[in-house]
Chain A
Amino acid sequence: MKKCEQFRDLILSDHMDGELDRIAAERVQRHLLDCGECRAFLKEVASISLKQAPRQAVPPELWATIKENILQDKQKVNPLESILEKLQGLIIYPRLVPVFASLILMLVAGSVSLNTIQIQQTKDKEQGEYLVSLLGATSSSTQADNNDLGTPIEHYFL
């Protein structure tokens, strides 16, 4: 019967494992009272349960081997790694690491852009001075009736 199949699916999982809610568990119980075949099925499923499997004692040599492996690993640790680990240990709040990293990046970016502005300002100033000096030179050359601005291209065309 299809109804029995559905109950057997539940018997194989949630019912066996006590995972059904109260209402569903009561429905299964009612069905089991009415259906002898499903009761037999439940008994069969219970017989292959491993709940009674013997729990084995942990072999005493296990801890000794683990301890030995840990000590060997400690000796093998690279000095660079141990320094890195110590540095990591200094960071008390690892979640704040990205925040600190972003702050440092922002500071670096800020100082770089400040330098760029200062360089630009210096360049502008130098260019201004150069133009002023050129104008000075031009006015003096005008006085001398000379059109040469002193650049190679001027030499080429004139």
Chain B
Amino acid sequence: MEDIAKEILTRASQGDMQAFEDVYKASSSFVYNVALRVVNNREDALEVSQEVFMIIYNKLKGFRFESSFKTWAYRITANTAINYAKRYSRTKTVPFEESFGEGAVFNEAQEHIDQEHKEKLVESLLNELNPEQRACVVLRDIQGLSYEEIAQALNININTVRSRLKRSREKLLSVRRKVDYEKV
């Protein structure tokens, strides 16, 4: 997420819509992409993103710059997306084994697979994880946050971040191995 000047945040907190649009522009890609990967479909990601920005707009008045805006926005986004995924668990993606079991390509040619195929692969892999695991993997692998930043965003300790990532990857490996085994 891009850094936002304190002056812009102050004006946005006073209800200045132009300043809030600047806040939106700097953070919308992070918010939408995290939401998309945690809820794992476009319509729900749009709803979550709207909810996140309404929370940011309404609570910005009380934001006192004691923590960084980024950490605060990470936390709102992750919590809203996880809660949404738990409440409305309507997974529309096809399980990994169905998508990539028969005739799936896992070799060097994978580097050249088209965007749509890559997207389908990511959706199917994330589909194998629960919302908390998905949030951890997304914040780490896709958004590149450090363990410390993930711990702050999810309000958990660093060892929990570590163990969630480890379990998520073990799960993804087992699914992947199962598909490979069925292909043989």
Contacts and interface: CB of A to CB of B under 8 A. Distances in A.
Interface of A: 9, 12-14, 16-17, 19, 44-45, 47-56, 58-59, 61-63, 65-67, 69-70, 73, 85, 88, 94
A70 B125 contact: no
A51 B24 CA distance: 24
B146 interface: yes
A73 B15 CA distance: 12
A86 to B, nearest CB: 12
A17 B53 contact: no
23 contacts: A13-B165, A13-B169, A17-B147, A17-B165, A19-B147, A47-B176, A48-B173, A48-B176, A49-B141, A53-B141, A54-B115, A54-B118, A54-B119, A58-B29, A59-B42, A61-B46, A62-B28, A63-B28, A66-B53, A69-B50, A69-B54, A73-B58, A88-B61
A24 to B, nearest CB: 13
Contacts of A62: 28, 32, 46, 49-50
A47 B64 CA distance: 42
Nearest to B150: A17
Main secondary structure of the interface of B (DSSP, over half): helix
B24 A50 contact: no
A45 B173 contact: yes
A50 B126 contact: yes
Contacts of A49: 141
B142 to A, nearest CB: 5
Interface of B: 17, 20-21, 24, 28-29, 32-33, 36-37, 42, 46, 49-50, 53-54, 57-58, 61, 64, 106, 115, 118-119, 122, 125-126, 137-138, 140-142, 146-147, 162-163, 165-166, 169-170, 172-173, 176
Given A13-B165, A17-B165, A66-B54, A50 B28 contact: no
Contacts of B163: 13
Main secondary structure of the interface of A (DSSP, over half): helix
